[in-house]
Amino acid sequence: MRLTMLAVKAISVLLRPLFALMVRTPAYKKALQARIELVKQEEATLEDAEWFGTTGLHEEIEWELPRYLRRELGQSLFDEGSLKANDLKYVGVFLEQGIASPLKVHYWRMPYQDDEPVYAYVDVSPDGETCTGWGNQSPPASTETQQGPPADSPAFGGPAA
């Protein structure tokens, strides 16, 4: 194990100057600029999906979800066959126990070429902080969407009823 760590460290030290040279090349700068322009175009494009405005999340979070997923998948909005907002199917929001407090977790079913279902999710903590992810985390076993308590309920730090 120690030998492996030393080998990785030695390789990274050797590659550092090579990387420093690479990022100075005109080809790298041109590719980086093209990627920056593509990201700007994507951010300026408003997609449409039937679930927009129905989740209870802020619209910026809804718009960012498909962008985040495409970045994770190495795709662009403008790539043929890339993930689009309308490809995501909103499952619902569920109240789940987090490490220290309950979380509202919103789930979307993702189209994925696998035997196992894949979900995107947005965790919302009682203080409103969000965490976005995707993978094999799935909604609780339930056939109906649970809306959970409102954000101002005692479960989320609101006044007692």
Give the whole-angstrom CA distance, residue 12 versus residue 52.
44
Q: What is the Cβ-side half-sphere exposure of residue 134, based on CA atoms within 13 angstroms? A: 20
- The residue length of the chain stands at 161
The answer to whether residues 104 and 148 touch, using CB atoms and an 8 Å cutoff, is yes
Residues 6+ apart with CB under 8 A from 99: none
Average pLDDT, the chain: 83
DSSP 46: P
In the chain, the percentage of residues whose pLDDT exceeds 70 is 86
pLDDT band at residue 142, thresholds of 50, 70 and 90?
low
pLDDT band at residue 151, thresholds of 50, 70 and 90?
very low
Highest mean pLDDT, choosing among 110-124, 130-144, 145-159: 110-124
85 pLDDT higher than 60: yes
